[in-house]
Structure 1
Amino acid sequence: MNWLKFLVGRKLIIGLFSIFIVLVGAFSINKLDVELMPDITFDMAVVNIYAGEVPAIDVEDLITTPIEQRLSSINEIDSYTSTSAIGYSNITIVFESGAGDKGFQDVEAIVNSMKSELPFIEDSYVFQMGMGSPYEHFLDIYGGEMTEMAAFAEEIVKPRLESLPEVGEVLIFGNVQEEVVLELIQDKLEEHRVDPQQIMYFLNEEDKRISVGEFEHGSDIVTVRWDTQISSIDTIKYLPIPTQTGIIKLKDIANVKIDSPETSSGSWKNGDPNYLSVQIARSGSATAVSLSDAVRAEVDKIYEEGLVNGFQFEELMSGGQFIQNSIDDVKRNVLIGGLLALLVVLLFLRNFRAMLVIGIAIPLSILLTFTTMFFLEYSINMFSLIALGLGIGMMVDAAIVILEAIYRKLQEGKPRLEAVIDGTKEVSTAVIASMLTTVVVFLPIGIMGGEIGDFMMLLAVVIIVTLVSSVLVSFTIIPVLAHAFVKVKASQEKKEAKIIRLYGKLIAWITKKKWRRWVVVFGFFLMFVGSIIVGSQAIKFNLLPDIYQRQAEFILTLEKGVTPEDHKAISNALHEGLKDMDDIKDYIAITMTNDLLYSFVNMTPEETATLSQEKVNENIRELLEELQEEYPIKDTSMLAMFGADASPVQIKVKGQDLELMQEKVEEIIEGLTKMDDLFEIGHSMEHMQAELKLVIDEEKIEDAGLVPSQIRNQLQLATAKQPIGQMFLDGKNLPIMLTTDHDITTTKDLEKIEIQTFEGIKKLSDFVSFETIESPIEIYHDNGERIITVRANYDGGDLGSINREVQAMLNDIDRSGLSITTGGDLSEQDEVFQDLILIFFIALFLVYVVMAVQFNSLSHPFVIMSIIPLTIVGVILGVVITQVEFSVMSGMGVVMLIGIVLNNAILLIDRTKQLRQQEIAIGEALIQAGKNRMRPIFLTTLTTAAGMLPLALATGGSSAFQAPMATVVISGLLFATMITLILIPAVYLIFDDVFGWPKRSKARKRSKMIEINHLEQ
């Protein structure tokens, strides 16, 4: 301990070191990004391809399958699934662990190269899966005239917000864009024998702005430009069109007008259609919090300039605000936890200066942790703050143990320097062993796969950094501060406390008879078995909690062919159902595409709520089920955490015999409908639709002097508007749309469409016939093979029991010729909990290795680790009593407990070993060790529990993550501590009885030889 003497003698070094930690820590905190979740990129990618109105079967054959075949050549891909729907292909790719970035680049390159090769592709989007959505701030514009609000949104809000460096993109929903419509009059076309293709050609030729060249003009060289760019409606109306009857104006054969069409991009707020939704994405360098601050400041400026008149312009939701609230909650809990830990120290030591020393150590350890996070390029997010909150209690353990040892030496009357050195030296082995055992339990977390493993690894690293920082502070700053500030009067000989005397009598009773120690161990074993039985029946299991409380989002997938009137009717029905529903504050509905309607619901704040989140969600689900029966709604799904809308319960059926697959799917669905907790049960092949396929007579088309593409172009023009260009008018780019005055609503009308040929006007029916076919709406692949996926949702209950029911049902199904596996949360829960079990046992082994090396003994670690099963008893009691679900976060709490609960046992065994080295009998050594270590054991336990208590009792958005973990740690730790002082001596005695006989035999022989030698002399 020469280094300690040096530090105590050079207090200035510690003072400067502390100032350095404060300065660098404060700098690091200001530089760390603030976000809800860590910026983690998953080993997953998604490919979305849009292909107009192409049927699902053609999307599968012409787009999805060719891309899948190319993707199969990428070595980094582990698996992939795909969905082919009408006009849409989605491919979800899972890469090998750690190969996400390289694999994503390869996928992106393949998709980009194939876009020009494959037919029908209108647009494509490839992105790598990661945390969060770029759109994190939402504004509402409502309560006024639509034209005025639209102008305000497009001309003021959008450009001003997009000019902010924190803003990446601004989208406005509900604003119907004006367009220039050229409605061809069919009779006039026939009269003047004009082909619509001619109109498109002359319009494009007229709309030119080009450079003719450079010419001499006087003494200068000037550029001559040709400018016939369309800039007014009259330019289009009076466009000359050469015909066989002479030159006419476009207005003679077409109605030209500016129109605000009824489209499917409607938006409603609380049932009011005069509503615009503004969605704001952050730039790459911004955080959600900085985005919210910048947007709010700009909105305030817009109000101050008097630009908001006759309507409302307000914030609907801010991701930054939610993040700030959640992080503020965790910060407050961390602060309260630290203060409670200090209060425990004051109550036990009854020395204000000693408490002040611990009070200095805590913030220094925290600042040192933030400094390390800065260099690791971590952010301040929910996971890192939860880790810090959990570490608050543990970070004072080392400081308390060292300070208590010094405090006790001072009470014994030793000189101040000697007390500091002896006290620190006495517990140094135990403190280092405790820190190492706590650290090594987190090392196996690296084997946990998937995105959950990424989160858990971040949590583990921050806790490890916190512990290492606290031990560094404890071995340097605590002894120096104790030497400088702590004053203790040497205690007089006084009577032991009653609890210590009772404890001594209990251990003495255990040591006297061998059967008693066995009774104690057997009693605790029965307690462990009983708790496992109770826990298996009473504990609910889940994967991850949903942090977005008091808000709900859902998607309505509409039937094909719905009209704007259908959108309006569905929105009105949604409004009627939600407006009188309890605990709903406001809501919006946005038609994202023609067959996709999104809705967001704001609930009343938690402090004024009359219903739970689960009950409100249940009421919304019941409403959606009613709407699905009455309106053209194909499917409904409520969005869960991170915006995922995939069904949590999935069963995948693969095989070659489609008829057999469908038969087994119906059998599975029948089994699922009998389970009370499941709803929204269906499968991927349940929606089929009748289609009329055009069968082309190529011979007749050729005889008419045409090619099939000409027939297709005239057909498209007759049935829908065709974009043919743009014009710049009043500061806006307006699309120019070409259509006809045909009124086509039936197949009979379709057959009568007039097709212009060199032989004159003919009907479409002269060239094509109709064939009715059944076509799937969606087709699913798993690694390139067709698959039927059975889907179901559950009410947030016990996913573990649902998993067991599903597995039992599947076991009764004949799987001959088929592969039937679970997916969604079911398979992920199995995988994650299997990882946790593996991590648990690897952590046990690593802890054993560390302690075996530290104590130079193979038996002592087993004695110390005997407390772990009783820790599980405490965990089960805590989970059952508090009725929290056992999730991945709870599992992480159990892994943490392995390291934490062993600290007390290490203190006890280390002191026992020291006393036995002083030739004290085993029974007396155990009694004395228990008495010596009772105070630090209770101190460290209660400070850890106090530090985590605010996390366990927390409410609000982040509580779903932090409360389960803190509850598990507190309950397991408190129960284990009460047992440690009794169980460890009993197990120690049993190990000594079983494995200590060689030493006792040698000791007896040595004693006998001494006695013989004495007699001979």
Structure 2
Amino acid sequence: MKLPEIALKNHLFVLTTIALLIFIGIRTFNSMPRSEDPFLSVPKYTAVIVYPGASPEDMEKLIVDPIEEVVKEVDDITEIRTEIANGLAILVIESEYGIDYDNIYNDIVDAINKIRGDLPNGIAELDISQYKAEDRIVVHQFALVSEIVPYKLLNDFAEDLEQNLEVSKYIKKIEIEASPQEEIRISLDFQKMANLGIPLRQVIATLQSNNVNIPGGSIKSGNLSFNLKTTGSYGSLEDLRNTAITSDNGQIVYLRNIADINYDYEDMRWIGRFNGKKAIYIVVTQIKGGNIIKLSEELETISSLFKEQLPSTIQLETAFEQAPAVKLRINDFISNLFQGIILVGIIILIFLGWRPALIIITVIPLSILIAITFLDFSDYALQQISIAALVVALGLLVDNGIVVIENIVRFKRDGFSLMEAAAKGTSEVGYAIISSTLTTVLAFAPLSLLNSGPGEFLRSLPITVIYVLVVSLILALTFTPIMASRLLEKRKEKKTSIVLKKLDGFIEKRYVPLLRFSLRKGWIILVVGVVILLGSLTLFPRIGISFFPTADKPMLLIDVDHPYSSNIDHTDNTLKFVESVLDTTDYIANYTVNAGHGNPQVYYNRVPENYKSYHGEVLVNFEEWEPERFYIALEQLRKVFSGYPDARISFRELKNGAPFKAPIEILLIGEELDTLKRISSDVEKMLRSADGILDVDNPLAIAKTDIKIIINRDKASLYNVSLLELDQTIRASLNGLQIDNLKMDADGEDYPLVLRLPFMDRPSLDDFDKVYVANQNGEQIPINQLTSLAFEQDYAKINHFNTERTAAITANVLDPDKTKAYTEAIIPKLDAYKWPKDYRYYLGGEYETQSKSFGDLGILLITSLILIFAVLVLQFKSITQPLIIFSAIPLGISGSFIALFLSGWSFSFFAFVGFISLIGIVINNSIILVDYTNQLIIEGNEKVLAIEIAAKRRFTPIVLTSLTTILGLMPLTFSGTSLWSPLGWTLIGGMISSTLLTLLIVPILYKWLTEITKNK
């Protein structure tokens, strides 16, 4: 190993390079992007198709089936879920992870565009979008609140605030939500039009033709040229009112004679309130790579100045802000990091003295700062995963330094000069620490290749740890010997520290006799180890399995769902009941109400519903995170809401990890809706009778009642009325028909131009009798002569899963950590059910995501083992010695399971991640022990003597590295968070058991399985 010698000879260059990297690291840390959670790059795409008036069956046959057929042919598409309702279809398309998501989006758009011409006329919207976290996740939500100010004025102030906010370089997008669009409404009197013989198509054609601004060209006059201007498009309501439609008996009929023309708002589709008062929202999304802390400071400054300009009747409130949570979480993790550094420093100081401790502790911030620089270059931010990874890596990064320093000190005690001790001590263990670092890296590396939603969530963890370990290795081989050659005492130490003397005494009096006994009676020790392993495995069923834990945030999203035929007013009445409950509940800071729409997306894995009149959502902010008060409040709310009639008021805690539709989701797949309805009813009963399952939702349980307009085609043909004219008249009269946009001179804004009947709120059945349609001869015919109305029960919506019809039964759970257990309790009942031919079920929800993720982690575990084994074979040029080193793994398993059982945490996704990480960590001690034993045998020592010497000399660094790893993890582990504590206990328990048993079992196996002689 020549690197330490090269570093010592070129110490000025090495130190200068490190100083430069530290400077860059400090600047990077100050400017690095910050967020609460990682920005998930999810290969998800959405196609929304709006076809007004179409039934779910018509939407399915005419639109959804053709689109699904072409989309499923796109390469790398893995799943298509479609929800079909009246006039609306939403396709959610997922593709493989780890590929070019933009290319997939382009392929989907191209595929749909190819059949666009084959789809029905009259599609109002066909929008295809790609999921991007930075476009959707709101980091700040303002609410402009007033009980008396009209929406128009609120919207004007919101636009002013939007302009003020746009100066920030950290903002990606600003949107104004829950503000009804103002339109120019032309309320036609169809009876007058019929009396005057004016068909609807004539009104539409006249308005459209008059709203065109065509340049009149130019003329020359002498040396000058003049542009000609026509009268142009409409510029005011008065212009509209004075539009000449036709003439009757020599008199012109103006639009004002047959219609009322006024500004009005569109029919309410999204009603917003803040703390019970009318509100519209201004939501802010952050650019990818932005610093949310600095953005928050800018928002605070801008909004404070803006508040001073508002009239007393309007208040600007903050409905949601992410920055305080980010700041708190980052501060907590940094506090954990510093606590870990202090604990590690104390241990090193106690065992090695202040000079070695100073060298090793100096390596910690150096490694972290340099690693952060690489992390920033890799386009990762400071957030809870990456910062926690620094805490996880804390104990590991000092391992190499401890081994090097301890060996340098040993050489110095043997009489070598400081420079010689630094060179020889580092070189002797150089290959061992390279190998041990590489094995740890290989344990973490496959985690960075996990192509799934959970993989995207945790990817910054293995990347961060790898960067820290590689940097710490380089520093251990270069910076550590340089500092040791200058900071350690030059004269030979006359006395050993009290702690080391005690430790040496323990080694001689306790460990060595036990080691010798183990080498003589190895089977006894091995049997004890196997018994401990088997005993720990029996604990696993009692430990339990969970997926991602709850987010531990003082925030709640309450969903309100009605039967699908419910209007927004009915939904809003239920939301007012929810408000009345929240107003009397302690511990709530504020709440934000949304009727007809979900709240803007404030959490990365909770995607809101879009424009559904039967749906509402309430964002509740609690005063602070106090688990006891939080769960008491949730239990009280659950009891009150469970008894509410005619609506399902439900909620579930926010959870970490990738998004899924519901904790429990059972997809029933088959062709006939009536059969699916019967099966869904039976499955619904299974879920309702099961323990721990709440808020069961069966979309096929309630039929939707519609009023169907039945067109008498024979009469329409007899009266010479075209079906297009008839359909257009019905839409214009009852739903309103947008025919154009007008830019008004007064404010320069565009307004939709909408034709409809003159009803005040919503059309009634009586309004239908006021409508006339013109035939091809210009005659006016009452529309009720050509149509009839009938009440018809229909399915509220139709779902597809991978192009097949399905019914999705969903439910929440009482204890989120037991979702897997609740689901598995239902599976035997589903398997025992008498399924009709060609009908089956599929488990989605958290169970599906968990099964896939744990399966992927299992593959990664095997991959890590194979890679590590291959590296060890190359290093030791042996098959048996890597097997000896691998004996530390089952020893680590024992401690992990015992630690999880005693601490009360379940085996979660992050515990599994900790388990994979443990593999590379626990074998490090074995590598150091086996490698040094080989060196002693090569030097001429007998096998048993070499084992004893190696075990004695490596006892201190092995114990120290294990202690520092454990102590470095303790602050994070004892923080009590459901995300990190299971991972911490997995690592700590595994480190304790593997360290204790490795010092005995590895020597035993080395003696039994190696055929090395002193002449090898």
* TM-score (ref. length: structure 2): 0.90
Shift of 1:694: 3.0
Shift of 1:828: 1.8
Q: Which runs of 5+ in 2 are unaligned?
A: 598-610
The one of 708, 714, 735 equivalent to 2:729 is 714
Conserved? CA contact 1:727–1:735, under 8 Å: no
Matches within 5 A, 1:420-499: 420-445=422-447, 448-487=450-489, 489-491=492-494, 496-498=504-506
Conserved? CA contact 1:77–1:93, under 8 Å: yes
Shift of 1:86: 2.0
**Residue in 2 that maps onto 1:21:** 21
The one of 777, 781, 785 equivalent to 2:796 is 777
**Residue in 1 that maps onto 2:380:** 378
- In the TM superposition, what whole-angstrom CA distance separates every residue of 1:838-867 from its partner, at most 9, and x where no partner exists? 222332232222223222332222222222
**Residue in 1 that maps onto 2:589:** 585
**Aligned residue type for 2:35:** E
Which stretch of the first structure deviates more once superposed, 71-80 or 24-33? 24-33
The one of 539, 545, 559 equivalent to 2:549 is 545
Is residue 800 from structure 1 mapped to residue 808 from structure 2 by the alignment? no
Which stretch of the first structure deviates more once superposed, 597-606 or 758-767? 758-767
Percent identical pairs in the alignment equals 22
Residues matched between the structures, number: 984
Which stretch of the first structure deviates more once superposed, 108-117 or 77-86? 108-117
Which stretch of the first structure deviates more once superposed, 93-102 or 458-467? 93-102
Which stretch of the first structure deviates more once superposed, 80-89 or 118-127? 118-127
**Residue in 1 that maps onto 2:783:** 764
CA–CA distance in 1 between the matches of 2:473 and 2:566?
Answer: 66
SS for the counterpart of 1:679 is strand
Conserved? CA contact 1:557–1:636, under 8 Å: no
Matches within 5 A, 1:915-954: 915-954=936-975
The one of 606, 622, 639 equivalent to 1:603 is 622
Matches within 5 A, 1:493-572: 496-498=504-506, 500-512=508-520, 514=521, 517-537=522-542, 539-547=543-551, 549-563=553-567, 565-572=569-576
Matches within 5 A, 1:289-300: 289=293, 291-300=295-304
**Aligned residue type for 1:503:** Y
Conserved? CA contact 1:237–1:251, under 8 Å: yes
Shift of 1:692: 3.9
Conserved? CA contact 1:41–1:130, under 8 Å: yes
The one of 331, 337, 340 equivalent to 2:340 is 337
Is residue 139 from structure 1 mapped to residue 147 from structure 2 by the alignment? no
**Aligned residue type for 1:150:** L
**Residue in 1 that maps onto 2:606:** none
SS for the counterpart of 2:412 is helix
CA–CA distance in 1 between the matches of 2:679 and 2:246?
Answer: 66
SS for the counterpart of 1:894 is helix
**Aligned residue type for 1:209:** N
CA–CA distance in 2 between the matches of 1:892 and 1:808?
Answer: 30
CA–CA distance in 1 between the matches of 2:289 and 2:936?
Answer: 60
**Residue in 2 that maps onto 1:404:** 406
Matches within 5 A, 1:683-702: 683-702=698-717
- In the TM superposition, what whole-angstrom CA distance separates every residue of 1:214-245 from its partner, at most 9, and x where no partner exists? 12356421111122543333333343342324
Which stretch of the first structure deviates more once superposed, 135-144 or 256-265? 256-265
Which stretch of the first structure deviates more once superposed, 731-740 or 698-707? 731-740
SS for the counterpart of 1:209 is coil
CA–CA distance in 1 between the matches of 2:484 and 2:137?
Answer: 51
Shift of 1:403: 0.6
**Residue in 2 that maps onto 1:791:** 810
CA–CA distance in 2 between the matches of 1:722 and 1:9?
Answer: 83
CA distance 1:950–1:51, change in 2 (3 Å): farther
SS for the counterpart of 1:961 is coil
Matches within 5 A, 1:989-1008: 989=1007, 991-992=1008-1009
Is residue 812 from structure 1 mapped to residue 810 from structure 2 by the alignment? no
SS for the counterpart of 2:82 is strand
CA distance 1:255–1:918, change in 2 (3 Å): closer
CA distance 1:500–1:776, change in 2 (3 Å): farther
**Residue in 2 that maps onto 1:860:** 881
Which stretch of the first structure deviates more once superposed, 252-261 or 496-505? 252-261
Conserved? CA contact 1:173–1:266, under 8 Å: no
- In the TM superposition, what whole-angstrom CA distance separates every residue of 1:527-567 from its partner, at most 9, and x where no partner exists? 21121112212x23222234361111243344445445424
Conserved? CA contact 1:679–1:794, under 8 Å: yes
**Residue in 1 that maps onto 2:756:** 739
Conserved? CA contact 1:57–1:775, under 8 Å: no
CA distance 1:436–1:204, change in 2 (3 Å): closer
Shift of 1:150: 0.6
- In the TM superposition, what whole-angstrom CA distance separates every residue of 1:914-933 from its partner, at most 9, and x where no partner exists? 34445545444444333222
- In the TM superposition, what whole-angstrom CA distance separates every residue of 1:561-582 from its partner, at most 9, and x where no partner exists? 5445424422310111212224
Shift of 1:817: 3.8
**Residue in 1 that maps onto 2:234:** 230
- In the TM superposition, what whole-angstrom CA distance separates every residue of 1:709-746 from its partner, at most 9, and x where no partner exists? 22222222332333344351641444443333469866
**Aligned residue type for 1:948:** L
CA–CA distance in 2 between the matches of 1:15 and 1:473?
Answer: 10
CA–CA distance in 2 between the matches of 1:416 and 1:759?
Answer: 109
Is residue 728 from structure 1 mapped to residue 744 from structure 2 by the alignment? yes
CA–CA distance in 1 between the matches of 2:657 and 2:929?
Answer: 46
CA–CA distance in 1 between the matches of 2:290 and 2:387?
Answer: 20
CA distance 1:717–1:18, change in 2 (3 Å): closer
Conserved? CA contact 1:412–1:491, under 8 Å: no
Shift of 1:749: 5.8
**Residue in 1 that maps onto 2:54:** 54
CA distance 1:112–1:136, change in 2 (3 Å): farther
Which stretch of the first structure deviates more once superposed, 889-898 or 243-252? 243-252
Which stretch of the first structure deviates more once superposed, 736-745 or 719-728? 736-745
* TM-score (ref. length: structure 1): 0.90
CA distance 1:665–1:193, change in 2 (3 Å): closer
SS for the counterpart of 1:315 is strand
Say what the alpha-carbon RMSD is for the aligned residues. 3.2
Shift of 1:361: 1.4
SS for the counterpart of 1:180 is strand
CA distance 1:623–1:226, change in 2 (3 Å): farther
Is residue 832 from structure 1 mapped to residue 837 from structure 2 by the alignment? no
Is residue 360 from structure 1 mapped to residue 362 from structure 2 by the alignment? yes
CA–CA distance in 1 between the matches of 2:970 and 2:660?
Answer: 34
Shift of 1:836: 1.8
**Residue in 2 that maps onto 1:265:** 270
CA–CA distance in 1 between the matches of 2:651 and 2:345?
Answer: 52
Conserved? CA contact 1:29–1:370, under 8 Å: yes
The one of 193, 201, 207 equivalent to 1:203 is 207
**Residue in 2 that maps onto 1:322:** 325
CA–CA distance in 1 between the matches of 2:495 and 2:188?
Answer: 110
Shift of 1:404: 1.1
CA–CA distance in 1 between the matches of 2:735 and 2:85?
Answer: 21
**Residue in 1 that maps onto 2:916:** 895
CA–CA distance in 1 between the matches of 2:196 and 2:682?
Answer: 64
**Aligned residue type for 2:625:** E
**Residue in 1 that maps onto 2:160:** 156
Q: Which runs of 5+ in 1 are unaligned?
A: 1004-1017
Shift of 1:379: 3.2
Shift of 1:288: 4.3
SS for the counterpart of 1:225 is coil
**Aligned residue type for 1:532:** L
